[in-house]
């Protein structure tokens, strides 16, 4: 745009030349007076038109220029106030306008960039030369795309870091389809990308911790509903996760632990107190009881507790091992007691028994006979206890033999039939001639059968049935069933422990001996019972030890 002062100067020069030149022409041509008036009018009219054009250009165009300049200033202020880099290019890729951010980014703030292409500007900045030359390739893709396109560009920084820009390129074309202008805007999303990468990394770690944890990991919302769990939920409970999603898991918890779990949940959610290494019992889909060691901590998002997250480890086998060790420890104590005391008891016991029998034969009175009988019975009871203690002492070398289990049971039946009749008990042994002979110590098995049948007789049974069958290809099964008083569930888990007895005069060693005999034979014993319904004992013995 020509400066207004230059326009004024040109106007004065032109006016002066016009007046002098036209007046001299009139004098030189010696135009008649009549025509001179017409010529002067035409000259004046032409001068008015030229003056009007000048005034229009000087005043009206000046306003347009001022308006355009103001708009350009606004645009300049606008693009420089943006946190993004902004760049305007013409159809040939020459820079028209750019904000300070873009100039500083490519280190061309001191370069007269207008009218230069990216390749030309690359010569002014060694570090960003390759980046600027790449822009031409990227711009060409935007032109070919024809509409606004978006891409992620990474630009290296002098300090060795890399900035990531979310770049938008908007091409515009003339009515004839010629390239007109390309607007390039890029936003620095480096921190956003880093945050997203950290979030993705955190999510991956969380997923690894959650999905691949060797223990059950679970999430519960503030209403106590299961919202997430890993695959160990199925392994622990037998239920598919979908069966309990958005539902309470209390039905899985044993009744005796439900109140405990509920109180713990309230404490975690409302008291923000973690629940650490607490043991609870659950009932699986197959109605099997398991013990889990659970930990739960509050799940806090934006300083607000939204639920609980925790893990649970199946310690059922661990508890069974502890119980087995506890029983083994008791057996060890009993063994030591048996080894050191049993023989010492029997020696004086024999002497006392002999003297009592001698006194009984020398003083024959009805009253004394009663006393002697009581003393002899009690001494015999002591002798039986000593014998049982000897069985529980350190294992001795046992000679196993091939025996028919039917014959062993028949011998026991013959031995106990009279005692069963004395207590009005119907004892029935269902033999099975199809069973193979088993490798066993016959005397120990007889003692085992006697202990079990005697227990049934003493449990006020009316009917006792012993049945034999094959358990599998390598084992046989003996089932002792009675209809006696039964055993409470809480007492069942203590059966077999030394000195644990429900009988008034029981030693608590009979079942301990029975368990030990089964153990010697590498077998298994299972006891189930219901109060006032009876008891069922299953013995599984291998055919070949």
What's the pLDDT at 450? 86
Cα gap 525→519, rounded to integer Å: 9
H/E segment holding residue 62: helix 61-81
Tokens of 222: 């503030």
Cα gap 380→374, rounded to integer Å: 10
Domain ranges for the chain: 4-78, 82-194, 213-314, 321-391, 401-542
Q: For residue 240, what are the contacts with CB-CB under 8 A and spacing of at least 6?
A: 234
**CATH T-level fold of 401-542:** Heat Shock Protein 90 (3.30.565)
- Reduced to 3 states, what is the DSSP secondary structure of residue 219? strand
Q: For residue 372, what are the contacts with CB-CB under 8 A and spacing of at least 6?
A: 356, 357, 359, 360
Query: How far lies 398's CA from each of 13, 159, 342, in Å?
Result: 141, 84, 20
pLDDT tens digits, one per residue of 502-517: 554 455 566 777 888 8
Q: Could you tell me which of 408, 383, 388 has the C-alpha nearest to residue 510?
A: 388
H/E segment holding residue 483: none
What's the pLDDT at 504? 47
User: Does domain 213-314 fall into CATH 3.40.390.10?
Assistant: no
Q: For residue 402, what are the contacts with CB-CB under 8 A and spacing of at least 6?
A: 437, 438, 439
Read off the DSSP letter of residue 57: I
Summarize the confidence of residues 301-325 as an average pLDDT: 84
What's the pLDDT at 340? 60
Summarize the confidence of residues 465-494 as an average pLDDT: 85
What's the pLDDT at 481? 92
- Give, rounded to a whole angstrom, the gap between the first and last alpha carbons of the chain: 113
Cα gap 352→347, rounded to integer Å: 9
What's the pLDDT at 1? 45
H/E segment holding residue 137: helix 129-145
Q: Could you tell me which of 385, 345, 375 has the C-alpha nearest to residue 506?
A: 385
What's the pLDDT at 353? 75
Summarize the confidence of residues 416-444 as an average pLDDT: 87
pTM score of the predicted model: 0.43
* Backbone angles phi and psi of 163, in degrees to 5: -100, 140
Q: Which CATH class is domain 321-391?
A: mainly alpha
Question: Do 299 and 309 form a contact (C-beta atoms < 8 A)?
Answer: yes
H/E segment holding residue 185: strand 179-188
Confidence of residue 352 (pLDDT cuts 50, 70, 90): confident
The partner residues of 228 in beta bridges, in order of sequence, read 219
Summarize the confidence of residues 384-399 as an average pLDDT: 60
Q: Does residue 424 register a pLDDT over 60?
A: yes
Other CB atoms within a 10 A radius of the CB of residue 18 amount to 14
Confidence of residue 501 (pLDDT cuts 50, 70, 90): low
pLDDT tens digits, one per residue of 137-156: 888 888 988 888 888 888 88
What's the pLDDT at 387? 64
What whole-number percentage of the chain has pLDDT above 90? 9
What's the pLDDT at 336? 62
Q: Does residue 328 register a pLDDT over 80?
A: no
The partner residues of 428 in beta bridges, in order of sequence, read 465
Q: Could you tell me which of 288, 283, 266 has the C-alpha nearest to residue 275?
A: 266
What's the pLDDT at 491? 72
* Backbone angles phi and psi of 428, in degrees to 5: -130, 125
Cα gap 178→192, rounded to integer Å: 37
Summarize the confidence of residues 489-511 as an average pLDDT: 60
Q: Does residue 339 register a pLDDT over 80?
A: no
What's the pLDDT at 21? 75
Q: Which is it for strands 289-301 and 275-283: parallel, antiparallel or unpaired?
A: antiparallel
pLDDT tens digits, one per residue of 54-66: 766 666 666 655 6
Question: Do 383 and 346 form a contact (C-beta atoms < 8 A)?
Answer: yes
Q: Does residue 480 register a pLDDT over 90?
A: yes
Confidence of residue 465 (pLDDT cuts 50, 70, 90): very high
Which single residue is written with the structure tokens 């290019």? 89
Which single residue is written with the structure tokens 């008649």? 32
* Backbone angles phi and psi of 308, in degrees to 5: -135, 145
Tokens of 390: 């000897």
What's the pLDDT at 510? 65
User: Does domain 82-194 fall into CATH 3.40.50.970?
Assistant: no
Fold match, 321-391 / 401-542: no
Other CB atoms within a 10 A radius of the CB of residue 409 amount to 21
pLDDT tens digits, one per residue of 76-116: 665 666 657 888 899 899 998 888 888 888 888 888 988 99
What's the pLDDT at 461? 84
Instruction: Report CA torsion sign: 116, 147, 71, 53.
Output: positive
Q: How many residues does the chain have?
A: 545
Q: Does residue 398 register a pLDDT over 70?
A: no
Q: Does residue 423 register a pLDDT over 70?
A: yes
The partner residues of 89 in beta bridges, in order of sequence, read 95, 182
DSSP H helix total and E strand total for the chain: 16, 17
Q: For residue 235, what are the contacts with CB-CB under 8 A and spacing of at least 6?
A: 216, 314
pLDDT tens digits, one per residue of 518-537: 888 889 998 888 888 888 99
Read off the DSSP letter of residue 44: H
Q: Does residue 255 register a pLDDT over 80?
A: yes
Query: How far lies 529's CA from each of 427, 468, 488, 535, in Å?
Result: 19, 19, 7, 4
Other CB atoms within a 10 A radius of the CB of residue 151 amount to 13
What is the average pLDDT score of the chain? 80
Confidence of residue 539 (pLDDT cuts 50, 70, 90): very high
Summarize the confidence of residues 283-312 as an average pLDDT: 88
Which region among 38-47, 216-225, 294-303, 438-447 has the lowest average model confidence (pLDDT)? 38-47
Confidence of residue 538 (pLDDT cuts 50, 70, 90): very high
Confidence of residue 310 (pLDDT cuts 50, 70, 90): confident
């Amino acid at each position: 745009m020509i400066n207004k002062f230059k326009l004024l100067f040109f106007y004065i020069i032109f006016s002066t030349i016009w007046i002098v030149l036209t007046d001299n022409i009139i004098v030189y041509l010696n135009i008649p007076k009549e025509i001179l008036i017409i010529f002067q009018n035409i000259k004046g009219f032409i001068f008015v038109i030229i003056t009007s054009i000048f005034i229009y250009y000087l005043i009206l165009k000046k306003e347009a220029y001022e308006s355009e300049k103001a708009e350009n200033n606004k645009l300049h202020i606008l693009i420089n106030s943006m946190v993004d880099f902004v760049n305007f290019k013409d159809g040939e890729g020459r820079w028209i306008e750019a904000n300070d951010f873009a100039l500083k980014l490519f280190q061309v703030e001191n370069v007269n960039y207008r009218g230069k292409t990216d390749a030309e500007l690359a010569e002014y900045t060694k570090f960003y030369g390759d980046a600027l030359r790449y822009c031409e390739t990227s711009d060409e893709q935007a032109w070919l795309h024809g509409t606004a396109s978006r891409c992620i560009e990474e630009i290296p920084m002098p300090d060795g870091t890399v900035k990531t820009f979310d770049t938008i390129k908007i091409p515009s074309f003339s009515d004839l389809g010629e390239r007109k202008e390309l607007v390039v805007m890029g936003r620095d999303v480096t921190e956003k990308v880093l945050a997203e990468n950290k979030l993705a990394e955190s999510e991956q770690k969380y997923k690894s911790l959650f999905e691949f944890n060797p223990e059950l990991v679970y999430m519960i919302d503030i209403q106590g509903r299961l919202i997430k769990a890993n695959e160990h939920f199925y392994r622990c409970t037998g239920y598919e996760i979908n069966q309990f999603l958005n539902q309470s898991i209390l039905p899985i918890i044993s009744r005796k632990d439900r109140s405990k779990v509920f109180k713990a949940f309230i404490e975690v959610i409302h008291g923000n107190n973690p629940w650490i290494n607490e043991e609870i019992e659950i009932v699986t889909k197959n109605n099997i009881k398991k013990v889990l060691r659970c930990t739960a901590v509050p799940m806090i998002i934006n300083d607000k507790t939204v639920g609980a997250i925790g893990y649970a480890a199946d310690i059922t086998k661990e508890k069974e091992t502890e119980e087995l060790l506890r029983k083994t420890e008791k057996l060890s104590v009993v063994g030591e007691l048996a080894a050191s005391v049993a023989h010492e008891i029997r020696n004086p016991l024999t002497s006392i028994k002999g003297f009592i029998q001698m006194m009984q034969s020398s003083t024959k009175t009805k009253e004394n006979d009663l006393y002697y009988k009581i003393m002899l019975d009690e001494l015999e009871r002591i002798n039986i206890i000593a014998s049982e203690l000897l069985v529980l002492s350190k294992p001795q070398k046992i000679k196993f033999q091939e025996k028919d289990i039917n014959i062993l049971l028949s011998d026991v039946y013959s031995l106990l039939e009279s005692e069963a009749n004395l207590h009005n008990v119907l004892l029935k042994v269902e033999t099975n001639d199809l069973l193979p002979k088993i490798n066993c110590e016959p005397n120990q098995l007889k003692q085992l059968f006697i202990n079990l049948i005697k227990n049934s007789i003493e449990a006020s049974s009316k009917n006792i049935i012993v049945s034999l069958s094959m358990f599998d290809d390598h084992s046989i099964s003996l089932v002792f069933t009675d209809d006696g008083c039964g055993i409470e569930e809480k007492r069942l888990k203590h059966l077999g422990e030394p000195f644990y007895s429900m009988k008034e005069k029981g030693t608590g060693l009979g079942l301990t001996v029975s368990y030990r005999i089964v153990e010697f034979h590498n077998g298994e014993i299972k006891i189930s019972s219901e109060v006032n319904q009876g008891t069922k004992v299953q013995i599984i013995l291998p055919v070949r030890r």
